[in-house]
Amino acid sequence: MMHASLRSALTIAASLAVAGGAIVGLLPPYWVFLATAVLITAVALLSLGLVTGRTGMIALCQMSFAGVGAWTVGYLNIWDAPGGLVVWIVIGGLAAVPLGVAIGLPALRLRGINLAIVTLSFAVAFDTILATITYPGQTAFVSVPRPRIVDSDEGYFVFVLIIYALIAISLAFVTRTRLGASWLAVRHSERAAAAHGVSVPMAKLSAFAISAFIAGISGGMLAGYLGTLVSENFSMMQSLSLFAVATMAGAHFAEGAIIGGILIVMFPELLRRLDLPQDIGNVIFALGATQALSTGETMAETFRRLARKLLPVRPVAAAAASREHLPAPVTLGAGTALAIEGLTVRYGSVVALENV
């Protein structure tokens, strides 16, 4: 299992290194600027993919968590807090965790459309609050400074690429741990997960907390990317668009988050160059999400299926031991072969067997 995690991590790191080097070395500055936006959006999509794709819950307030991270970075900037942007981004992610846990509490009893309504209501409330608050430092024309080593657009792109790689690799490792297995079990069936001894409340709350942390990081990186922000960057419609693209692209996969980031950033750019209304993008995203739900296959899963068909399959080594080398069967004598005493079986708070 650890070998699979290491192989997945190395694959992600190598792919991002090659793509990042090509982007910095070949593309003009404007496209590097857009590529940075793609990666920041991909981080937000990874956070949403954790809740929706890995745990099977509906969250329509992801950009609200990102807004908490962005506003935290803004306040730390005008307060001249020590540590610089890197530390501020981490603090911004941590500031979003309590809200993630608070939103996760209704998920302990709600699911499906009911949970969607709760998270959407939170997004609307947060949107209303941000509309009355200007971004810290905006009126005084104080923008969020980048670290000197990554002050250029190319340097900041590499900085964001490293953060994305760390988050994607960390999620790949966590998915193969007991915690990650509990997320997948809850997505499949909450009752079956509880029957197998999985703490469903812990799985849900941990998913929302980690998801909010990652979303807060994306908001902090967006603050360093643009310098100053407005409430429209984290509006309810932004959360809905993010959810639609995450559903369509498969944001719980590293490549799916990149695909989603490309769609969210580059599709409006294409519409702008074609002089078409920007609302067409939201319609396309909604249709794509509907198609993914109807077929049960996201864009990332489609690409993985095609890659398995095109790439050669590694040969499986034949079994080393032949039949004659197998140990002889053990013949049991008369008497009791297996005895169990004091057996107790619990399914959550339900005791099925006790002291049998």
- Residue-level pLDDT at 215: 94
Q: Which tens digit of pLDDT belongs to each residue from 316-354?
A: 454 444 555 656 666 656 566 677 888 887 766 677 778
Which pLDDT value is given to residue 329?
A: 64
- φ, ψ of residue 352 in degrees (nearest 5): -85, -45
- Note whether 155 and 307 are within 8 A (CB): no
**What was the pLDDT predicted at 351?**
76
DSSP 8-state secondary structure symbol assigned to residue 199: -
Q: Cα 59 from chain centroid?
A: 12
Q: What is the mean pLDDT of residues 161-172?
A: 89
Q: What is the pLDDT of residues 91-134, one digit of tens each?
A: 999 999 999 999 888 888 888 888 888 888 888 888 888 888 88
- The pLDDT score that the predictor gives to residue 190 is 81
* Strand (E) or helix (H) holding 345: strand 345-347
- Where do the domains of the chain lie? 2-310
Predicted local confidence at residue 5, as pLDDT: 47
Q: What is the mean pLDDT of residues 59-83?
A: 90
pLDDT score of 1: 46
Average pLDDT over residues 72-101: 91
Query: What would the pLDDT profile of 274-310 be if each residue is shown by its tens digit?
Result: 888 888 888 888 888 888 888 877 888 887 788 778 8
Going by C-alpha positions, the residue among 147, 179, 170 that lies closest to residue 160 is: 147
**pTM summary value:** 0.82
Instruction: Give the CATH number of domain 2-310; options: 3.90.550, 2.40.30, 1.10.3470, 3.40.50.
Output: 1.10.3470
Q: Rounded distance, CA 304 to CA 307, Å?
A: 5
Instruction: List, for residues 102-113, the tens digit of each pLDDT value.
Output: 988 888 888 888
Q: How confident is the model at residue 37 (pLDDT cuts 50, 70, 90)?
A: very high
Each residue of 15-32: pLDDT tens digit?
767 777 777 667 788 888
Closest CA to 215 of 53, 54, 62, 75: 62
Highest mean predicted confidence (pLDDT) among 5-9, 48-52, 269-273: 48-52
Give 180's pLDDT tier (boundaries 50, 70, 90): confident
Residues 78-91 have a mean pLDDT of 90
CA 140 to chain centre: 35
Q: Give me the count of residues in the chain.
A: 356
CA-to-CA distance for 138 and 65, rounded, in angstroms?
A: 20
